[in-house]
Structure 1
């Protein structure tokens, strides 16, 4: 096996109260040509329905699923991602959202592009409302290249030599040429910058801000194009009321050339060992 594909990886999936989409996402993870070593559900306060989906999927899932949950106190994506990162037992972290369907080589593509001293930013293929509803209804994880209802034509193609060609050429310094729903990092690099900045509340800019600090720490941004493909399930846009404050936090990080955030990842280390956390969850399930 190639050394890169033998890298131990955690797939972190962010979710909030959309169990049908999460189930479809997990089905697409289950069908990966190369599996992650663990899946961590970063749950920003979902109800019991999401727990039921996770528990059911666990019964036949090929790798362990760890469910990290926090109380619903508004949109706190940075906080739940930090908790999930702290719970990871692997060196490499691949990060997505629970409203995505993954191409069968998604994990493989990310691992093949992994490189010390870099982090990776990907893109997505949008699905329209009709196609999204059909896939959710049928729990279908395969998407045809020219299927009606798909957008972003160039983002659909899986061509490995083009992935390698564009990796260090596509907008390496552009912090806005990324999406937090498709990124990957070495865990040690996230520790160095203290993970996500929990000053961010509400939608937006937390992914751009962590990219700024990672770049300021000396890392390079690589793009995953023509690979690492994800299909985004249609939904209404999130409330962007907090975006103005988040824009200010981002501007501060850029102006001050920030590397480390004070309110971040470090507060969750040594709270509970990842393996022990998993075993505790299994015990709770077994005991009802």
Structure 2
């Protein structure tokens, strides 16, 4: 794969260094490392900063840390900063509570295709399994047959049959930012995430809708790009309804360009740690 496309792993996080540590440990185990790790930090404290700094010494690839002050849920803004700050052609995006199976980056690179954005799936760790991993300071061993994992079909890796489970369609309401991938050039064409969507909810499907409106079809993959979602309590969803209305308007209007997106943002070099 000497001539493969360059890929950035973008990880969103907020004040959960224990989970982020497990995520970064799983990145270290990848069969193919990304060309850069870019952390989109929505205002975490010093413990997260120190953790990220410690991992820059363990990777032989750039680890970039984008941070802004904690002013409520502003994930879209920091994600835009992070993607703009990548030097790579292709973006694989996860959340800071997503543990990666060791072939995750390799599988996403194999799934990359011009004219498509990619949606992967996840297995859900139970409360007890999550506590075990978070308290153990180690990933241990996780597989589709491990105890404490729900959505078992989503975590079976069987690349020989992956082609039978690929679906390509113009759908956006299932798009999940915790396991997705897209071309940076397409992200720039739609002007990134909508910065007007503050508070939890639907910033990912609204981006997916604009990809569809641009003509970038969704490619949903199974049996590859496996990941495990650490359990956490449900976030405050006070903005969910208003954000969903924005998504519906995007679908109905057919617009692909977001006026309040990443085009006017500048990448602040001081945020690269």
TM-score (norm 2): 0.96
Report what 1:58 is aligned to: 56
- For the pair 1:123 / 2:121, whether they are aligned, the reply is yes
- For the pair 1:181 / 2:178, whether they are aligned, the reply is yes
Unaligned residue ranges in structure 1 (runs of 5+): 282-288
- Aligned counterpart in structure 2 of residue 207 of structure 1, from 200, 204, 226: 204
Report what 2:153 is aligned to: 154
Which whole-Å CA distance do the structure 2 matches of 1:75 and 1:134 have between them?
A: 28
Give 1:160-239 correspondences, 5 Å limit. 160-169=159-168, 172-239=169-236
Work out whether residues 202 and 240 of structure 2, in 8 Å CA contact, stay in contact via their aligned partners in 1.
Answer: yes
Report what 1:240 is aligned to: 237
Residue 267 of structure 1: how far off its partner (Å):
1.8
Which whole-Å CA distance do the structure 2 matches of 1:156 and 1:124 have between them?
A: 7
Residue 115 of structure 1: how far off its partner (Å):
0.5
Work out whether residues 162 and 225 of structure 1, in 8 Å CA contact, stay in contact via their aligned partners in 2.
Answer: no
Which whole-Å CA distance do the structure 2 matches of 1:194 and 1:247 have between them?
A: 19
Report what 1:40 is aligned to: 38
Which whole-Å CA distance do the structure 2 matches of 1:253 and 1:162 have between them?
A: 35
Report what 1:284 is aligned to: none
The superposition leaves residues 76-125 of structure 1 with CA deviations (integer Å, 9 ceiling, x where unpaired) of: 11111100011000000000001011000000000000001110011110
- Aligned counterpart in structure 2 of residue 263 of structure 1, from 235, 257, 260: 260
Report what 1:12 is aligned to: 10
Which whole-Å CA distance do the structure 1 matches of 2:39 and 2:97 have between them?
A: 12
Residue 266 of structure 1: how far off its partner (Å):
1.0
Unaligned residue ranges in structure 2 (runs of 5+): none
Please report the RMSD computed on the Cα atoms of aligned residues, expressed in angstroms.
1.5
Which whole-Å CA distance do the structure 2 matches of 1:207 and 1:239 have between them?
A: 17
